[in-house]
Amino acid sequence: MSSSHTAEFLRVKALAERGVATAQHSLGFMYVNGQGVPRNDELAVAWYRMAASSGLEQAQYNLGVMYQKGQGVAQDLGQALHWYRQAAEQGYVQAQYNLGWLYAKGQGTPADVHEALHWFNKAAAQGDPGAQHNLGMMYEGGKGVAQDVAQAVEWYRKAADQNYARSQFNLALRYDSGQGIARDAQQAIHWFRKAAEQGYAPAQFNLGLRYDKGQDLPQDSEKAILWYGRAGEQGHASSQFNLALIHDAGHGVARDPQLALAWFRRAAEQGHAGAQDNLGLRYEHGQGVEQDYAQAAHWYALAAEQGFAGAQYHLGQLYDAGHGVAQDPSIALDWYRKAAEQGHLRAQFDLALRFESGNGVTQDEREAAYWYRKAADQDYAPAQYALGQLLDRDDTGTVDPRQATLWFRKAAEQGHALAQFALGLRHDSGHGAERDYEAAHFWYLCAARQGHARAQFNLGVMYAAGQGVPLDLVEAYAWLHRAGAAGIAPAANYIRRIAARMEPALLAQANGYIGAA
């Protein structure tokens, strides 16, 4: 402590003891900050109280702060409210803002949105950017006033022009969405950048996202990493997660699985469900960490409890297998159902398989059909095929061959070989579809090219008979050979009969074709 400070303290103390309110306030300030005297919050409160009782608005405000924080005095939000009001009524802007905040939050008083609006208006009229921002929020949400997004934008702009980062961010969001103002991507980026450069993490994340996805800005992974990194270092979990994804995929930068793992862990530890699920996957499969099913279950459970469908499905799989947890099909089923009800495709499909087979549940083909349809509606070809099969069976009670054909077609058009064969068979037999040998040939050919042995056999028979396609003994011979090699026993008899119908030169050509194939 320098002598000049000590002298200044003694001078102020003498004036304070003579009842000079400004000196009493200054003395309280010195005690709070340990300025020229050892810090002493209790004495600060005593001197602030003397000055406040004399009507000094700055002392009334500071005394309110001490009560609000419980600094040098027991926390008492009612007393904080009292002293803020004394200062606010004298026009002290920070007190008006704090008073508005206490009313908005219902601290020290029942929440009163109209009182909050009144005091924020007072402070905003004096140019306080925090109050201007809060007014913007109230107009945007219709709290205490009629909802008016255009009015909200005006208040955000006033605060943004004073470099208030949260308003700059909100203004950017409005320009981005075109709510209350004409959409303007470049203005959105301008205000995101302003807020980001002040260190406002949500704006940094948003700017990073635009560079990451090439949205309204040229794609630039390095700049995305820069902005995600700044927000991530402040603990912004979504930025940490996106950083992990970039490093994991090597998207625009060298792949770095260990750095990805570190960012996944940081985001997971803050409760980011996607990161928790990702970390669970790494422990389950031993990717970058030693395989540890118990750790996998731990991270999946954290994400699953937050309603993250992927983690609910993965946790169900662990309970199914008894990996890291006691095996329990009923708990597995509960998690599958939770994930399925949120639209998780594989959970819906696996749930349907269980109900169809009666694996761990009472067999229920109606329930199976329900979940197959949910997955099929998401264009999942295996579910479309399975639903077609269910609808085609007499024992379901919902037999509907035409509907079955529609689902087989949807799956077949996605390249599902079993559905392609099923559709070929229907056109071949006229069951659930018009008999159409050309269509049958087309779908058999699609399935046969994917190695479906029975489709190869049927295709060979069609070429041999000239059914739905011009007669071609060489093609018939080749497809039947493939079917025979795949274990279709009747193919051998057909091959002998076709060989007997062929001239030696044609048979040699056919055998050469098979060798070339």
The full DSSP string for 209-270 is HHHHHTSSS---HHHHHHHHHHHHHTT-HHHHHHHHHHHHHTSSS---HHHHHHHHHHHHHT
How many of the other CB atoms lie within 10 Å of CB of 330? 9
Confidence at residue 396, expressed as pLDDT on a 0 to 100 scale: 54
* Same domain as 110, residue 2: yes
CATH code of the domain covering residue 285: 1.25.40.10
Cα 124 to Cα 134: distance, rounded to the nearest angstrom? 9
Element (H, E) at 47: helix 41-53
Q: Is residue 373 a contact partner of residue 351, using CB atoms and an 8 Å limit?
A: no
Spell out a b/e string for 303-322, using b for 16 or more CB atoms within 10 Å of the CB, else e.
bbeeebbbbbbbbbbbbbee
82: domain range?
1-126
Residue 153's alpha-carbon distances to 134, 161, 172, 177, 196, in angstroms, are 11, 12, 10, 12, 19
Do residues 115 and 57 share a domain? yes
DSSP letter at 184? -
Whether residue 2 is found in the same domain as residue 122:
yes
pLDDT recorded at residue 398: 64
Of 267, 258, 264, nearest in space to 235 by CA: 267
Q: Does 511 fall in a domain?
A: yes
Instruction: Return the amino acid letter for 433.
Output: A
Instruction: Specify the pLDDT at position 358.
Output: 86
Which one, of 168, 142, 85, 154, lies nearest residue 119 by Cα? Answer: 85
Any domain includes 492: yes
Cα–Cα distance measured from residue 396 to residue 363, given in angstroms and rounded to the nearest whole number:
11
208 domain-assigned: no
Domain limit, last residue, from 378, 409, 435: 378
Among candidate residues 434, 462, 430, the one with its CA nearest the CA of residue 448: 462
Residue pointed to by tokens 């924020």 = 120
159: nearest Cα among 187, 191, 127, 194:
127
Q: Report the C-alpha gap between 175 and 440 in whole angstroms.
A: 56
5 inside domain: yes
Q: Clarify whether residues 367 and 434 are in a common domain.
A: no
pLDDT of residue 399: 72
Please check whether residues 276 and 358 belong to one and the same domain: yes
Residue 167 lies in a domain: no
Q: What is the total count of domains within the chain?
A: 4
Give pLDDT < 50 ranges for the chain: 1-4, 516-517
Report the alpha-carbon distance of residue 404 to residue 384 in Å, rounded. 9
Give the C-alpha separation, 31 to 7, whole Å.
15
DSSP 15: H
In a domain, 324, yes or no: yes
Q: Decide if 328 is inside a domain.
A: yes
* Residue 75 pLDDT: 97
The helix/strand count (H/E) of the chain reads as 29, 0
413 plus 512 within the same structural domain: no
Are 478 and 409 within one domain?
no
